[in-house]
Amino acid sequence: MKEIILLKEGEIALKGLNKRNFEDAFMRNLRHRLKGIGEFSFHCDQSMVYCEPADGVDMDDAVEMASKVFGAAALCRALVSEKDFGCISRDTLEHFAKELDRARTFKVAAKRADKNFPMKSPDICIELGHLILERFPHLTVDVKKPDVVINVEIRETNAYIHTGNRHAAGGIPVGTSGKGMLLLSGGIDSPVAAYMMAKRGVDISCIHFASPPYTSDRARLKVERLCEKLTPYIGDTAFYCVPFTKIQEALRDRVPSELFTIIMRRCMLKIAQKICEKKGLQALITGESVGQVASQTMGAIVCTDEAAHMPVFRPCIGMDKTEIVEISQRIGTFDISIEPYEDCCTVFSPKHPKTRPVLKEVLAAEEKGGFDELIEEAAENTELKVIKL
Ligand code: ATP
Ligand code: MG
């Protein structure tokens, strides 16, 4: 018997004239993410994407992966049957025997998208319900809270039978909302920021600042593993690694220690921006959350932001740490994030950073330090590695 994955569009279904573009992007992303699992063919009809596997595909793996691709509100793994009540009932009794055997109560729910089908939905429910009770006499019908729901959907070319939808990833397809550069540390917040912006369709590249020998190779590899962990959600991604040591040493030597972190963050934005301009990316993304640490007070953010002439998206800005942690656990980045490797942010970081920095003083200290050449050099020497799913 043939199975299929049905993905019900979420927000895409509400798009107007360019809905087709969103659907194409969604199917393209699905095809790419499922490539390692097997061959699939895709088509889309009435806000439903049909994802048909070739023979021998592991459907558990396929459903798991498809549930991470942004663009659908719900998905299910369904049995494909002919549009004939005899076939539908035969296939249901055979395919769902295990579930029905284990259950104590059940109900049948039917939907008829094709109104030419000769039986009406309530009739399908009654007749199929009877046949199920005959074959599995231990069962009783419970329409309110059944152990198993047998859903029958009569659509254009086939009937589809399944035991219910599960949540899909939501959002809109990656690649439909422009390109952004995520400042990715090894911490908990920035991977969550990547996930959240990808959910809104942004194509994500990642940039990481490393300060060897103060930060180790293993710290950098940890960040690459975070990228890999994100790929089911964000797709293949460009990973830029910036040699940041010289700038940090210059900052240590040339600026007042209480302004070190702010000016360092401004340097980060400036370098990231240079690479965005070269590569045609339109926005920066960080994992900052207002008030979380000294560099993320409102005053510090004002001073940092002044260094950017492109928008800086901070999707975690209004979230508590516990909310961010919850997402990072769900998307699987948490366990890597908490591995205890050093980040460049903690190298030379002052004991008493200014929580209320004054922009004029920051700009004056930065000017005096003369970091432009070092910024240019760091951007030039940035390494690129493509991280694939
Ligand atoms: P995270 O959990 O994302 O590391 P955090 O709470 O530790 O965040 P900070 O260390 O102040 O906060 O960093 C704030 C943001 O700055 C990060 O979310 C990230 O976007 C960026 N950032 C910090 N360190 C780096 C780095 N080494 N490379 C790239 N971006 C960084
Ligand atoms: Mg950090």
User: What's the number of CA atoms in the CB half-sphere (13 Å) around residue 34?
Assistant: 27
Q: What ligand is nearest to the CA atom of residue 344?
A: 1
Instruction: Evaluate: CB of 315 within 6 angstroms of ligand 1.
Output: no
pLDDT for the residue numbered 1: 85
Give pLDDT tens digits for 283-321. 999 999 998 877 789 999 999 999 999 999 999 999 999
Mean pLDDT value across the chain: 96
H or E element that contains 115: none
> pLDDT (tens digit, 9 = 90+) per residue, 183-231?
999 999 999 999 999 999 999 999 999 999 999 999 999 999 999 999 9
User: From ligand 1's centre to the CA of 177, what distance in Å?
Assistant: 24
Q: Which ligand is nearest to the CA of 265?
A: 1
The ligand with the least distance to the CA atom of 207 is 1
Each residue's pLDDT tens digit, 90-118: 999 999 999 999 999 999 999 999 999 99
pLDDT of residue 225: 97
Give mean pLDDT, residues 373-388: 98
Q: What confidence score (pLDDT) does residue 207 get? A: 98
pLDDT at 218: 94
- Structure-token match 């590569």, residue found: 279
Query: What's the Cα-to-Cα distance from 199 to each of 47, 91, 194, 235, 373, rounded to whole Å?
Result: 19, 37, 8, 11, 37
Closest CA to ligand 1's atom 12: 288
Residue 41 has pLDDT above 80, yes or no: yes
Ligand 1 atom nearest 191 alpha carbon: 3
Mean pLDDT of 127-136: 98
Ligand 1 near 285 CB (within 6 A): no
Looking at the CA of 188, name the nearest ligand: 1
Distance from residue 236's CA to the centre of ligand 2 (Å):
23
Which of 359, 130, 82, 382 shows the shortest CA–CA distance to 247? 382
Atom of ligand 1 nearest to the CA of 186: 4
CB proximity list for 19: less than 8 A, separation 6 or greater: 12, 13
Residue to substitute in 189, 208, 321 for testing ligand 1 pocket (most ligand atoms within 8 angstroms of CB): 189
Give the side-chain half-sphere CA count within 13 A for 169.
Answer: 28
Q: How confident is the model at residue 267 (pLDDT cuts 50, 70, 90)?
A: very high
Domains of the chain: residue spans and CATH: 3-167 (3.30.2130.30), 179-387 (3.40.50.620)
The reported pLDDT for the residue numbered 188 is 97
Q: What is the pTM of this model?
A: 0.94
Residue 363 has pLDDT above 80, yes or no: yes
Determine how β-strand 283-285 pairs with β-strand 166-167.
unpaired
Tell me what pLDDT residue 301 has. 93
pLDDT of residue 343: 84
Q: Name the band, by pLDDT with cuts 50, 70 and 90, for residue 348.
A: confident
Nearest atom within ligand 1 for CA of residue 296: 11
Q: How confident is the model at residue 282 (pLDDT cuts 50, 70, 90)?
A: very high
pLDDT of residue 320: 95
Confidence of residue 344 (pLDDT cuts 50, 70, 90): confident
- Amino acid 342: pLDDT: 84
- Please state the rounded mean pLDDT for residues 7-17: 95
Residue 60 CB neighbour total at 10 angstroms? 10
For a ligand 1 pocket test, name from 184, 190, 383 the mutation site with the most ligand atoms within 8 angstroms of its C-beta: 190
Rounded to whole angstroms, the Cα distance separating 69 from 6 reads 13
CB 187 near ligand 1, within 6 Å: yes
pLDDT band at 55 (very low <50, low <70, confident <90, very high): confident
The proportion of the chain whose per-residue pLDDT surpasses 90, expressed as a percent, equals 93
Q: Which two tokens stand for residue 185?
A: 């540390």
Residue 265 Cα, ligand 2 centroid: separation in angstroms?
12
Q: Is the CB of 286 under 6 A from ligand 1?
A: yes
Decide if pLDDT at 177 tops 80: yes
Ligand 1 atom nearest residue 215's Cα: 27
Determine the distance separating the centroid of ligand 2 and the alpha carbon of 63, expressed in angstroms: 33
pLDDT of residue 292: 81
Nearest atom, ligand 1, residue 183 CA: 30
Q: Which pLDDT band holds residue 352 (cuts at 50, 70, 90)?
A: confident
Strand 383-387 relative to strand 166-167, pairing: unpaired
Q: Cα of 318 to ligand 1 centre, how many Å?
A: 16
